[in-house]
Amino acid sequence: MRGLLQILDAGCLRLDVRLVAIAWIAIVGLSGTVPCTAAGQAGSGARWEVREAHLVDPAGKTPGHSGVRDELGTVDPVSQPGQKAWTSLLDDDFESGFPGATWSVRADGTDAVWEDWTCWSTSGTHSVGCAVSGSAAITCGQDYPSGMQSWMTAGPFDLSDASYLDAVFEFYLNLNTEPNSGSEYRDYLFVGASIDGTNYNGFNYAGTLLQTLQLDLTAVPVEGNLLGEAQVWVALVFVSDASTNLAGGAQIDDAVLAVDQTVNQVPVVTVTDPVGGESLTIGSSYRISYTAVDPDAGPSSLGVSIDYSTNSGSIWTPIVSGQPNEGTYDWMVPDEATTTGRIRVRATDGADEGEGVSSSDFSIISNVEPTVTLLSPNGGESLAANATTTVTWTATDPDAAPRELQISLEYTTDDGANWFPIDSGLANTGSLAWTAPEVTTTQAKLRISAWDGSATAVDESDAVFSIALAYSDLTLGDASGPSGTTVTVALALDNVADVGGLQADLFFDGSKAFLTGFEAVGRASGMAAEARQTGENQARILLYYDSDDQLATGSGDVAELEFTLQGPGGGTTTLQLSDVVLSDAVGIALPVTLTDGELSVEQPQDAPVLQISVLKNPARPRTMQILVRVANGSGDAPTVTAGGANLSLTSLGQAVYRGEYSAADNAATVTIAASDTNIRGIGNAQITVALP
């Protein structure tokens, strides 16, 4: 027999019902238990039956059973990778001698035992018959003897492999026995399996039958599924009673015990770098690239091992093993020059290992170190902080290997005690625009490194150079004029970077002047200008853009401040800038130097001029605020009277003074008078206010 036949579930036993039962069969259970019956009919009068049965080997295990296992190859169809496949643990066509190492035979009763013969076969020339050997042996065409219990067993077979999905014992049967009579089975063939080599469970067959039979080892009567059992025996036992014997009895051919299992697929590995032709430099890091795929993704995740060879693969030296399947590995190329280098990548899925090898030879060569020279700044230069300067160098790598040069730059401000990175991984372009740090030092140097992937060349400035902060200059001009007049002071800016805005506080002697105007001019005329007196002696000015515009680097006047001078004259006041914030394009404060201005107040040209404003309280008009403004004044508070009484005054700045007055309930009017004196004379003002 070659080939497992498709079986259908026929209740308790799976039988190939495509085959035609050629004779009426009766099967009788020896154990007396008949739990299940299957029957079929082919043609008029043809009938067969099969029933579950239990048969105990009265002699126990026979010597031939223990430790015997056949490896008889596979059965058709040939399984494909990844597909369900049948593997035969027993495959005997009885053409090579019987019982051999596979079978054990024994007669328990009449001395007639199984043996091969050529009276009938379904393939080849031989089969085995139930009474071919022994003292009561028969020849072709003779009736089997009475009182037989002829055993033919094989095993044990190991069905504990977890990959087994199914198991079956199959053979071709030529049966010719006395039929059963009702529930009584007289002569029959028992087919069963055992997990102890003694107690067998299976089925009895009686009658005439010529077909393939299968014992499903996953559904053995009583035992059930035998998959997972480490020891399984199968038995064919021919039994006859005392009378009515027929020719041949039972003849068996092409017996197979097969298991169904899934075949593991071998991982597929391809080395993609190096593939051959490359030159790897000794001491450099080389990235090995590969692909490793396990088609059936198991039973375990892939583990990768990498080897190299310096003789085209004759001898392999391990690089690494047990790596995860990451597709790359950075290999430090060994000091073993060769022109026949190969890389091998092996990947195992826990069951099988696949491998890939560089498709041709690569070389391992010695590295030629690069050279680098820093050209500038190379010492003696004076650089401006926050300003851009160009760093230049030359760097070469004679063998241009193992990789293109990478340039790194650092600077020091303490002659090499500490180094700070500028940039790294740069291409070897020969120059770099560098913004010097915001420091002041005379001990600066640059250091350059050129790395070819294996070796590094270094150079630094031959001598120190200097870095100095770049300051913008903010300068207030001077102005002078007679007390009581208005003068203009220029605000100049020499900015070394673009400017977004300016804020500054301005301090001066408020008794001599007060700020009355502020305007952006010149190159800053597009800027908004705001100013306010924040105290008697101080003001704050703002210059800024309402847009994203910037005041470009340059110099010249950017604003004009207007002051009104006051006081007796003959004095000066410094215009002092303080808390200056000069912002660059992104709002960062720029360093700035300040130059103060000065106002000179000359003697007034006219006598003081006074202005009186009376602000009556709307809810109580007899109480009032009296504000007196003085031009060309003495610088001191004027003398103010209301209703004849002197008022106490408070300076509000800008030559304005405040006093309070409350008129009596019976007063119809109140007269307020104010006066001030300077070198030119006395100034007076008087006002009479009506009261409700």
Three-state helix/strand/coil letters over 294-333: CCCCCCCCCEEEEEEECCCCCCCEEEEEEEECCCEEEEEC
CB of 612 to another protein, least distance (A): 8
CB of 559 to another protein, least distance (A): 14
Contact flag: residue 631 with another protein (CB under 8 A): yes
Judged by beta carbon, residue 140 or residue 615, the one nearer another protein is 615
User: How many residues appear in the chain?
Assistant: 692
Residue that has been written with the tokens 């908004």 in this structure: 528
Q: E-strand spans in 545-602?
A: 557-565, 571-583, 592-595, 597-602
Sign of the alpha-carbon torsion through 655, 656, 657, 661: positive
The Cα–Cα gap between 403 and 284 comes to 9
The Cα–Cα gap between 409 and 521 comes to 44
Judged by beta carbon, residue 580 or residue 670, the one nearer another protein is 670
| Stretch binding another protein (CB under 8 A), from 106-114, 130-138, 198-206, 661-669 | 661-669
CB of 652 to another protein, least distance (A): 3
Contact flag: residue 408 with another protein (CB under 8 A): no
Residue 574: how many other CB atoms lie within 10 Å: 13
Q: ∠ CA(300), CA(305), CA(310), 5° rounding?
A: 160
Alpha-carbon separation of residue 472 from 166, 417, 482, 492, 495 (angstroms): 92, 31, 33, 11, 4
Applying CB under 8 A, among 225, 652, 675, 679 the residue interacting with another protein is: 652
Instruction: Let me know: does 296 contact 319? Beta carbons within 8 Å.
Output: no
The Cα–Cα gap between 327 and 336 comes to 25
CB of 623 to another protein, least distance (A): 5
Judged by beta carbon, residue 2 or residue 532, the one nearer another protein is 532
The Cα–Cα gap between 15 and 219 comes to 13
Applying CB under 8 A, among 660, 675, 679, 680 the residue interacting with another protein is: 660
Judged by beta carbon, residue 335 or residue 665, the one nearer another protein is 665
Applying CB under 8 A, among 54, 65, 346, 616 the residue interacting with another protein is: 616
Contact flag: residue 516 with another protein (CB under 8 A): yes
Judged by beta carbon, residue 418 or residue 534, the one nearer another protein is 534
Applying CB under 8 A, among 19, 165, 275, 656 the residue interacting with another protein is: 656
Residue that has been written with the tokens 């504000």 in this structure: 627
Applying CB under 8 A, among 553, 623, 669, 688 the residue interacting with another protein is: 623
Contact flag: residue 488 with another protein (CB under 8 A): no
Give the amino acid at 676.
Answer: D
CB of 656 to another protein, least distance (A): 6
CB of 611 to another protein, least distance (A): 5
Instruction: Let me know: does 327 contact 286? Beta carbons within 8 Å.
Output: no
Applying CB under 8 A, among 67, 73, 644, 692 the residue interacting with another protein is: 692
Strands 362-365 and 279-281, sheet pairing = parallel
Question: Would you call 230 helix, strand, or coil by DSSP?
Answer: coil
CB of 582 to another protein, least distance (A): 25
Q: Which helix (H) or strand (E) holds 609?
A: strand 609-617
Judged by beta carbon, residue 220 or residue 539, the one nearer another protein is 539
Applying CB under 8 A, among 425, 618, 645, 668 the residue interacting with another protein is: 618
Applying CB under 8 A, among 564, 566, 583, 678 the residue interacting with another protein is: 564
Contact flag: residue 555 with another protein (CB under 8 A): no
Applying CB under 8 A, among 158, 614, 641, 677 the residue interacting with another protein is: 614
Contact flag: residue 622 with another protein (CB under 8 A): yes
Considering only residues 526 to 545 of the shown chain, the ones binding another protein according to CB under 8 A are 532-533
Strands 656-662 and 597-602, sheet pairing = unpaired
Contact flag: residue 615 with another protein (CB under 8 A): yes
Applying CB under 8 A, among 586, 645, 664, 668 the residue interacting with another protein is: 664
CB of 601 to another protein, least distance (A): 17
Q: Residues in contact with another protein, total (CB under 8 A)?
A: 38
CB of 513 to another protein, least distance (A): 13
Q: Residue 291: which residues within 8 A CB-CB, separation 6 or more?
A: 269, 270, 272, 327, 356
Alpha-carbon separation of residue 497 from 383, 432, 641 (angstroms): 15, 21, 57
Judged by beta carbon, residue 262 or residue 613, the one nearer another protein is 613
The Cα–Cα gap between 674 and 626 comes to 10
Contact flag: residue 691 with another protein (CB under 8 A): yes
The burial class, CB within 10 Å (0-12 / 13-18 / 19+), for 78 is: exposed
Contact flag: residue 654 with another protein (CB under 8 A): yes
CB of 617 to another protein, least distance (A): 5
The Cα–Cα gap between 181 and 207 comes to 11
| Stretch binding another protein (CB under 8 A), from 349-357, 502-510, 589-597, 611-619 | 611-619
Applying CB under 8 A, among 247, 463, 620, 669 the residue interacting with another protein is: 620
Applying CB under 8 A, among 611, 639, 677, 684 the residue interacting with another protein is: 611
CB of 583 to another protein, least distance (A): 25
**Which pair of tokens denotes residue 18?**
């495509």
Question: Would you call 138 helix, strand, or coil by DSSP?
Answer: coil
- Computed on alpha carbons and rounded to an integer, the radius of gyration of the chain in Å comes to 58
The Cα–Cα gap between 306 and 85 comes to 33
The Cα–Cα gap between 132 and 32 comes to 29
CB of 666 to another protein, least distance (A): 11
The burial class, CB within 10 Å (0-12 / 13-18 / 19+), for 21 is: buried
Alpha-carbon separation of residue 91 from 138, 169, 383 (angstroms): 26, 10, 94
Binding mask 665-684 for another protein (x = CB under 8 A): x-------------------
Applying CB under 8 A, among 78, 242, 619, 668 the residue interacting with another protein is: 619
Judged by beta carbon, residue 27 or residue 630, the one nearer another protein is 630
Neighbour order of strands in the sheet with 232-239: 37-40, 48-56, 199-206, 188-194, 232-239, 149-157, 103-107
| Stretch binding another protein (CB under 8 A), from 119-127, 292-300, 421-429, 626-634 | 626-634
**Which pair of tokens denotes residue 380?**
């003696």
Applying CB under 8 A, among 663, 670, 673, 674 the residue interacting with another protein is: 663
Judged by beta carbon, residue 46 or residue 691, the one nearer another protein is 691
Contact flag: residue 242 with another protein (CB under 8 A): no
| Stretch binding another protein (CB under 8 A), from 47-55, 176-184, 361-369, 612-620 | 612-620
Applying CB under 8 A, among 613, 639, 675, 677 the residue interacting with another protein is: 613
Contact flag: residue 435 with another protein (CB under 8 A): no
Applying CB under 8 A, among 299, 658, 675, 677 the residue interacting with another protein is: 658
The Cα–Cα gap between 215 and 127 comes to 19
Given the rule CB under 8 A, which residues bind another protein? 516-517, 532-533, 564, 611-625, 627, 629, 631, 652-656, 658, 660, 662-665, 689-692
